[in-house]
Amino acid sequence: MNAPILIVDDDPFVLGLLTHVAEQRGVQVLSVRSAEDAEAAAAAQRIAVAVVDLQLGEASGIDLIKHLRARDSAVETIVISADRRLQSALESFELEVFAFLPKPLDPAHVFTTVERALQRRRDALDRKRLTTELALLNEVA
C-alpha cells in the first residue's frame, strides 16, 4: 500500500476542498487542522507528501515541516500560503520544499504538484535502493 498524503490547514474550507478533491482522485489522504494533529498522524504512519499551510493558528508550518523531515527525510513537502511575501517563499525553499503554492488555490494545480512530488519521492527511493544494492554487490564481489 502506498503512503498517504497529509494535508494540514487550519481553514476548514480549504481543508475540506483539498480532501474532497484528493478522494475524488483516489488519493489516500490524512487531513488535519493543526501541527499537533499532523505530528500525531506522521507518528502513526509513514507520509509520502505533506501539503502544509504556513500559518496554522499559533503554530508555524515551517516548524512542522522541520519536525516531519526529522521523522522521515524522504517526505516531500508542499507549502500553501496566503502570505505572498518573498521572505515566506524563501524560508520555505531553504527547507528544500518541493513547491510553494500561493492561495487562493487551484485544486487541480495542487494535485498536479502532488503527483510530481510523489514521482520525485519514488525516484529518490528507487535511487537509494539501487545504491544500497550496488554497495552490497560490491561487498560480495
Between 111 and 2, the more confident residue is: 111
With 70 as the cut, is the pLDDT of residue 1 above it? Answer: no
Alpha helices in 56-96 (DSSP H): 61-71, 86-94
Q: Order the strands of the 49-53 sheet from edge to edge.
A: 29-32, 5-8, 49-53, 76-81, 99-102
- Confidence grade of residue 59 (pLDDT, cut at 50, 70, 90): confident
Which amino acid is present at 41? A
Cell of 136: 552490497
Beta bridge partners, 76, equal: 49
Which amino acid is present at 25? R
pLDDT tens readout for residues 104-136: 999 999 999 999 999 998 888 888 888 888 888
Domain boundaries, the chain: 5-140
- What is the rounded CA–CA span in Å between residue 48 and residue 120? 10
Give the dihedral sign, CA 5/104/113/25: positive
Mean pLDDT of 98-102: 92
pLDDT tens readout for residues 9-24: 999 999 999 999 999 9
Q: What is the pTM (predicted TM-score) of this model?
A: 0.86
Q: Count other Cβ atoms within 10 Å, centred on residue 15.
A: 18
pLDDT tens readout for residues 34-57: 999 999 999 999 999 999 999 888
What is the architecture of the domain spanning 5-140? 3-Layer(aba) Sandwich (3.40)
